[in-house]
Structure 1
Amino acid sequence: MAFLCDEEMKFQQMLLRVQESLGDDDLQDLLFLCSDLLSPRELSEASTATDLFSCLQTKELLSPNDPSLLVELLTIMKQNNLIRKLGLDGCMENNGTISAYRLLLFELSQSICDKDLKNIKFMLGKTLPRKKLERETTLLQLFWELEKEDRLDENNVEILQEVIGNVYPALEKRIIQYKEEAAGETFIAQETENNFSMSVQPLSVTSLPLDEMMEEQVDRVSVTEDQSQSLDITSGISNESSHLCVSDDPEIHQYEMKGDKRGICLIINNCNFTSMQMREGTDIDKESLKAVFQWLGFEVCTEQDCDKKRMLEVLKDLAGRDHTGADCVVCCVLSHGCVDGVFGTDEGKVTFRELKESLQCSSLFRKPKLFFIQACRGTSKQRPMWPQNNRADDVAFGDADISTDSIPDSIPEGADFLLAMSTVPDNVSFREKTKGTWFIQALCHNLKQLVPRGVDLLSILTQVNNDVSRKSHPTGRWKQMPQPEFTLTKRVVFPIPKTQPPQ
C-alpha cells in the first residue's frame, strides 16, 4: 500500500481547501477552462473540483512541485484572495497552459449580463436546437454547443464576432484583438531582446547601405513573381557598372569560385531560450538552408541552441580552420536579436561587429565572408506605404578629398563582407510556425531559382527584398523589409550546380 509523503499530503489538503472554497458555478468555469487539456469523458466524470484536479495530476499537469496551473486557473477566475490564503501568491502562474482562445471565451462569458445572454440565444435560434437555448443554459454551455456543431473553434470565431458584435458592440473589439493575436501566433514577430508589447511606428525613409543601388536596379529591372518568365536581373548592374567601379575597366570582376571546395557553411540555430520566447518554425529554416548550401557545394555544419560563449567559440573554431582551398565562407544565424546584434540562448548579445571580426583570418584574405542573419532588430512593426505623386528630393552626400594611391596587396580592414539581414534597424522580422521565416524562405527559393541562371548574389538579394516586401501580415497592417550591407569588392557568382535544386 502506497503512502503519501508529507509534501504530497499537504498539496492534497490544499486542493481540498480549493474545492471547499468554490461553488457550483466556479466548478463549471474550471471545467470549461480545462476543456482543451482533458477529454470530454474525463470532463463529464468530474463532478467535483477534486475530481478535476485528480485528472490533471494523472496527466502530470499539476503537482506539488508545480502548482502553476492551479495559480493560473484561480488568477483567471479572479480568486486572488484564495491564492493568498493558500500561500501561492509568490508562485508565477504558467501563462499559456490555458489557450488564448479558451481565455477569450471565458472573458466574454464574464462580461455578458442576463439580458445580453437572452438576446444572444435569440440570435442563435437558427443555429442551435431550441432545447440547447433553454433559460438555464449559460453562455459557456452555448460555446460548448457551438463547438460540438463545428461552428466555433480557435481558428473560426466568425459566428462569435457576428452574434456578440450585434448584441454587445464593445466586446467585438476584444474578438478582433484575439483574431489579430491568433494570426500573430502563426506569424511570430518576437525575435527581439525583450518580450514586451511592440510599439507601432510608420516606416520612415532612411538612408540604407544598399538603398541607392537597389532603387536604381529596381527601376531598371523587370522583376516578376512568375518564375516561368525570364528574370533579367543582372542587366541593371552591368549597365551601371561604370560608376560603381573606380578602375578604368567597366567590368565588375567576380570572386574566383574554382577552389578545391566551395567552403564551409555554418548554421547557428537558436530555438530554445532561457526566458525569451521559443522560436517555433526555425528548424524549417535550418533544414532549408542546409539543403540549399549543400546543393551549392558547401560543407554544412549546424550548431543548435548556442549561448553567447558557445556562439563565439564556434565562430573562433571556424576562423581557425584552413580555408586555403576554399572559395568563401558562409555563416547563417537564426535567433532573437536587437538593432546591432543577435542573442545567444542565455540572452547574451553577440554584435554584428563581433561576428565579422571573428572571421578575420589569413586563409580568408580577399575571399567573400557571407553572413545571413534571421533576427529581429527592434520592436517596431513596419506599416505599409502607398504610392504618392510626389517624391522626396535627391540628397547629395559629400566625400572627403583623399588620395587614391594605395599600398599593393593590401585591402581595407573589414573588406569582402556581406551581412544580409532579415529586416531594417528597429523593426521586427516575421516567422511562420509551419513555414519558417519570410526572409530565409525567400533566400532559399531565390538561390535555387537564380543560381542556375548565373545571377550574382547581390542581385539575388535584391529579388529577396522584392519578394519579402510584397508579403503582408494576415491583418494587412504589417510589412517587412530585409537589408543587405556589404563591403564586397567583386561580384559573388556561385558556379551552377550539376544537380537539380532541392525540393
Structure 2
Amino acid sequence: METPGIMLSGGTQIFHGPVTINIYKRSTKDRVSDGCDYNRPVKRAKSADFYAHAKYTDKFYQISNYPKGRVLIVNNEFKDEHDERQGSGKDVFDMRHLWSNMGCGVTVENDLSASKLLERVQEFATHQEGSDFCVVIIMSHGREDDLIVGSERGEVEVRSVVELIKSSKSLEGKPKLIFFQMCRGSNAQKMHLDGEGFDTDESSWINQMLCDLLPNGKVFGSEQPEADATAEQYVGPTPDVMLAFSTQPGCVSFRDPTEGSWFIQSIRKVFADKAAKHDVETLMRVVKNDLRKKEVYMPGTDYDKAVVTMDGRSSFGKKRLMLFPGFPKPQKE
C-alpha cells in the first residue's frame, strides 16, 4: 500500500495501487471553523450554574469529587502493519485533552491484546471509589458480530466489555459512558437511519480511511440486519449507562489518517463547545446530527456517497449528567 497523501483543496486523498480515492467531508473553510486544531479550548461552565444544579438531586447526577470522573482510553493502532490505524494517535491526544479539561483523571492504554483489554477494563471498572462517573473509550479494528480486534489479532466481544462495566459494584448508581470507535461489519451505509438512539474503523484493501475489516459486503440501505445487536440491546434494563458506537450494526466506520476518526473528532468538537451548558444526552444528539453532514466521495464504487449514523442508547432515565467543565475546582492541601 502506498503512503496516504493529503489534498489541501478540500479533501483527503488516499492512494492504493492504481486507484485514487478522495474523501470529502466539508470544505477547508468549514474544517477550520470546526476547530480541527489540537488546542481547541474547552468552554468552562459558570459557577452559578454548577451550584444551582447541585440543589436538584432528583434531576441531575451529583458532581462533587475532583477528579470528578475517571476515563480509560484504549487505542489499538497496529503500527507499522498493513492496516495501521493512521490518525488514531490524534484521537487519543484529543480525547485525553478533552477529558482532562473536563476535570477527569485519564488513563491511556495502547496496543492491548484481547486478553489484556478485558483485564484492563476489569481493573478500571473495579476501582472507581471517589469518582462521580466513568468513561471508557475503545478504539480498534472491529469485525462482524461486534468483535473488537486485539493487538495480536485475537477477538473480544463488545458484550464482554460492557458487562464488566455494568456489573461493577463501585459504579452502582454512577453514570457509565462507553464509546466504541470500530467497524461492525463490511457494509457501506447509503441512507441515514433515524431510529431511536439519542433522538426520543478502518483497515481496507480499497481504502484505509474506510473500515476496520475487509469491505467485501453489500451496500447497506435503510434496513438493519435483524441478527445484529444494537446499542439498546447492550444497555438493556441496567440503569445509568450510555453506550455509543461510531456506526450501525454490520457497517463500516470512518477515519481520516491525519485528522482522526469522524466519530471521535465530532465528540471532541461538540463536547468542548457545548458541555458547559448542555447535558451529555443532548451533546450526543448533536454529535449524531454532526455526523449526518459527512459523506464519502468514491465514484465508481459501492462506497460512493456512503454515510454514517451513530448507534447509541442511554438508560439515565429522568436524570441528566452535566459535566460542568471547570467545576468543582481542585481542593488545596
Same fold? TM cut 0.5: yes
Q: Distance in 2 between matches of 1:376 and 1:283?
A: 18
Residue 301 of structure 1 aligns with an amino acid whose one-letter code is: T
CA shift for structure 1 position 276: 6.7
d(CA) in 1 for partners of 2:146, 2:313 = 13
Aligned equivalents of 2:87, 2:274: Cα separation in 1:
25
Between the two proteins, what is the percent identity of the paired residues? 26
Structure 1 residue 488, shift from structure 2 partner: 2.2
Structure 1 residues 81-480: aligned runs within 5 Å: 96=1, 99=2, 178-180=19-21, 183=22, 253-272=59-78, 277-321=83-127, 323-338=128-143, 339-359=145-165, 360-384=167-191, 414-452=238-276, 454-475=277-298, 477-480=305-308
Aligned to 1:497: 326
1:246 corresponds in structure 2 to none
Is the contact between residue 263 and residue 327 of structure 1 (CA under 8 Å) also seen in structure 2? Answer: yes
Q: Who wins on radius of gyration, i.e. which is larger?
A: 1
- Which amino acid is 2:251 matched to? N
SS where residue 261 of structure 1 aligns? Answer: coil
CA distance in 2 between counterparts of 1:377 and 1:315 reads 20
Q: Which amino acid aligns with 2:104?
A: F
In the TM superposition, 1:16-31 aligns within 5 A as none
CA distance, structure 2, for counterparts of residue 449 and residue 271 of structure 1: 28
SS of match in other structure, 1:326? coil
| TM-score normalised by the chain length of structure 2 | 0.65
Instruction: Pick one of 315, 319, 332 that aligns with 1:487.
Output: 315
Q: RCO (CA 8 Å, sep 6+): is it higher in 1 or 2?
A: 2
Shift of 1:366: 0.7
The Cα shift of 1:155 comes to: 6.8
Mapped partners of 1:419, 1:272: distance in 2: 25
Q: What code does the residue aligned with 1:333 have? A: I
Q: 1:154 to 1:363 in 2, by over 3 A?
A: closer
- Return the alpha-carbon distance in structure 1 between the equivalents of residues 6 and 274 of structure 2: 40
If the length of structure 1 is used for normalisation, what is the TM-score? Answer: 0.44
Please give the alpha-carbon distance, in whole angstroms, between the structure 1 residues aligned to 2:278 and 2:248.
Answer: 24
Give, in angstroms, the shift of residue 354 of structure 1. Answer: 0.9
- 1:429 Cα offset (Å): 0.7
RMSD of equivalent CA atoms: 3.2
Q: Which runs of 5+ in 1 are unaligned?
A: 1-95, 102-152, 157-174, 188-225, 228-250, 387-411
Looking at secondary structure, tell me which structure has more helix per residue.
1
Report the residue type matching 1:277 in the other structure. Answer: D
Give SS of 2:273's match.
helix
Q: How many residues align?
A: 242
SS of aligned partner of 1:470: coil
How far residue 384 of structure 1 moved from its aligned partner, in angstroms, is 4.4
- Tell me the distance in 2 between the aligned counterparts of 1:413 and 1:384: 29
Evaluate the alpha carbon distance shift between residue 276 and residue 320 of structure 1 in structure 2; reply closer, same or farther with a 3 A threshold.
Answer: farther
The structural deviation recorded for 1:179 is 2.8
SS at 1:420 equivalent: strand
The answer on whether the counterparts of 1:274 and 1:345 sit within 8 Å (CA) in structure 2 is no
